[in-house]
Structure 1
Amino acid sequence: MANGVTSGCDFGREVEGPYVRAMLIAQKEVNDIPLTWYFLHEEPDRRHWSVNPSVMYLDREDGEAVVSIVSGCREFFFYESRRWEAATPEKVTEATDKYLTADGCTGRMAKLFGDKSCIVFHSHFQRLYGPEDRYGFMILEELLGRIDRVFGNRVIWMTPSELARYWATIKAYGVQAERSERQMRLRFSSPFACPDFTVKVVLSEKLGISRVTADGGKLPEVTSDSILVPNSWTQKDEEAFICFNLRKESRVETEF
């Protein structure tokens, strides 16, 4: 089942509004999917702010959304290798550096990571593995190794549909807070359920949190030096970070 759409070249760019609505209608009629996504835009040169998905249509009451997944990188797999007569380790290294250098200091992905942006990159299959060569695939193979070594568990891999769901939920959810002397209760409402949803709670003063539950289930604490994992929480001074599986109606309780 295709839960999203890849737009050929600039298809639909000049009529993007009707194009977005047509995608949603088609997904609902054919696949019974009320939340969909599409590829059309890339921002390989944007600076000074993040390159993130855009929610192009949102209906909270009916629980419908269409999300534009924006690529933040140029297609270096192709543009760096298209004139190669043969692949050498030096050429593969130089091409991969456009995405991410081996030390992680420069390259487009290093910039996006530093800006706390989503890191989305793309390619066409024929540009990774052509009829005469597989130069693009060799660059991709080197790039994946660098991402693992440089970023490690500081990034998570997501499918386009997972990213679209997360971003639509960010824009659509609501929360009400109730505070007592020893407890804070957060009531979430959202048109979409979303696994591994993460929120930051800013406390008015530094209070030691002793227990966090989500929909009745206790969440384990991770130390402030560790990476937040699904269904867990951590505290840094007056800020608490909570990752949980958001339902359409969820309750998070924090005890001090």
Structure 2
Amino acid sequence: MPFQPSRRRFLEASALTLGSRLFAQVPGDRPKQDASVKVLNPRNRVPVSIIIDDSTCLVNLNKFAIPQFAAANPGRYDHYPWKSWPDEIPDDFVRKFADWATENGVKGKYSIVPYPACVGRLDRQIPGWTQKELQGSIDLVRERIMPNWDIHPEMVTHTRIIDTKTGHPFPEISPKFMENWKWCGGRSVDEIADYMSYALTILKNIGLPCEGVTTPGGFGSDARPQLAQATFEACRDVFQTEIPHYFRDLYDKGEQSVAPLVQNVSGLDTDDPRCVVHILGCTGDWTGGWDCVTPKGADAFITSDGKSGRMVEVIQRGEPAIIVCHWTGIYWNGLEIGFEIFREVVKRLHATFDHLHWMKLSEIARYWAAKELTRIEFDVTHQVVELHAPFACEEFTLSVPTAKGVPRIKHIESQTKLQEADSRLKLEPGLWCREKDRTLACFKLEKGVSMIEFMA
């Protein structure tokens, strides 16, 4: 996903200004939360995930993208030997990757570019492949990738801007009419939402539901407030998504928080609460890049002794540690260099940490929306926590300043007595444990009003 020439390099070049631009966006409403009650990470573990960009069905995206990038930026891409790269990333490799991810519990986000590099639309045909091959590839994504990975469109083509009225690329070939560069500047929410909806609709037509979107390269970097609201509008319009999310930015070094940004919040006390969640990555692409460069390797993520590396830094802070990479670099023209690095990184993570929680981006987005937007009141005298939740959440985890009694969750007419766990590492929905003067409880948070009572 290049942006002169890649997302990682762009962010390194603009690190001094990116933070202020991120937070110029609109957070929206926030509820009152009793300061003595702490919302912890899900199951009191650290979320980890992998963002895979530039993936699609069959097409080796950047083999076909580079000549279009070169036409828009003459001289910049002349050094790439793109003609020697394979046309296809085969489904056998998708199966191999899916098998490994399932065996190791790995989850994340997997892009499906709907009209990859203008080669062909996935809901129609891709010249060079039969309809049977295309349908088989789509079915493979649905059956083997989707259970553990969110599907995102990475806009429409990842190259040229499509005229949504005609379905054809605009005739001008310049940074202004490439998805990776200047198109969003000065565009309205409606214009950007219309473009996103076009991409989402193609994936809907082939039976791949989405709760979020990924921006290719610099798409939206000069229209961040509009990008956030357009994501909400498009995902709500096409898929009726309750909590839309998007991936636009990453911080691959430094102390800047990489926790999700819950934005544009409104209607918390109504039947239609609204928000959009901006998911942030925490690494650069050190597995081979979109363009099959020499990778930094596993040590950039986590060293063999588990003592350093970007993932270690973020995990020790307790924030979601989300790796960013590109499908083309994972396959690396058939050499699978990025895939080998991934396997080593995951092996080291699992050997070093015992409190990781692999999650899809939609799961992280939902948790952060519930974490930040649930109103929390604590009656110290009666030892009752009252929760007003605009969104349900499967693994909601709280720390309450009490050491008396067994927690019981009450919602409308139902009630659930939690069972005691041996330690915080064993927390899962329906369990609680005590640590010194605090009680940790993990439970399914229902939408609406719930109470936690402590029974003698």
- Which band: TM-score by shorter chain? 0.7 to 0.9
2:361 corresponds to: 160
Name the amino acid aligned to 1:139: I
SS at 1:161 equivalent: helix
Change (3 A) 1:116 1:50: farther
User: 2:319 matched to which residue of 1?
Assistant: 117
Change (3 A) 1:11 1:212: same
- Of 3, 12, 25, the residue aligned with 2:220 is 12
What is the CA-CA distance between 1:83 and the residue it aligns to? 3.1
Q: Return the TM-score normalized by structure 1.
A: 0.87
The alignment yields a C-alpha RMSD, in angstroms, of: 2.0
5 Å matches for 1:55-134? 55-59=262-266, 60=268, 61=270, 62-78=272-288, 82-83=293-294, 95-134=297-336
Q: Which has the higher contact order (CA 8 A, sep 6+)?
A: 2
Match of 2:372 among 145, 157, 171: 171
Whether 1:228 and 2:436 are equivalent positions in the alignment is no
Aligned to 1:54: 261
For residue 210 of structure 1, the aligned residue among 405, 418, 422 is 405
Give yes or no for the alignment of 1:3 onto 2:221.
Answer: no
Alignment of 1:167-206 (within 5 A): 167-180=368-381, 184-203=383-402
* Partner deviation per Cα, 1:233-255 (whole Å, 9 max, x = no partner): 11111111111111122221113
Look up the match of 1:35: 243
Which residue does the alignment assign to 1:238?
A: 437
Question: Structure 1 residue 179: deviation in Å?
Answer: 4.0
1:214-238 CA-partner distances (Å, limit 9, x unpaired): 2311111123464422221111111
**Where does residue 36 of structure 2 map in the other structure?**
none
Q: Using the TM superposition, give the Cα deviation of residue 169 of structure 1 relative to its aligned residue in structure 2, in angstroms.
A: 1.1
Please state how far the C-alpha of 1:70 moved relative to its aligned partner. 0.3
| Distance across 2 between alignment mates of 1:145 and 1:57 | 38
Q: Secondary structure at the match of 1:19?
A: helix
Segments of structure 1 that go 5 or more residues without pairing to the other structure are 85-93
3-state secondary structure, aligned to 1:11: coil
Give the aligned length: 239
Percent identity between the two aligned chains: 26
User: 2: CA distance between counterparts of 1:163 and 1:174?
Assistant: 19
Deviation, 1:28, is: 1.2
Aligned position for 1:91: none
User: Structure 1, residues 55-103: CA drift from partner, whole Å, max 9, x if none?
Assistant: 1221223211111110011111125x7237xxxxxxxxx7211111222
The one-letter code sitting in structure 1 at the alignment partner of 2:407 is: V
Which stretch has the larger CA shift, 64-73 or 223-232? 223-232
| Structure with more strand by fraction | 1
- Bigger Rg over Cα: 2
Instruction: Determine if the alignment matches structure 1 residue 22 to structure 2 residue 230.
Output: yes
5+ long unaligned stretches in structure 2: 1-208
User: Does structure 2 conserve the Cα–Cα contact (< 8 Å) formed by 1:77 and 1:123?
Assistant: yes
Q: Could you report, residue by residue, the CA deviation over 1:26-81 in whole angstroms, capped at 9, with x for unpaired residues?
A: 1111111131111111001122x5421111221223211111110011111125x7
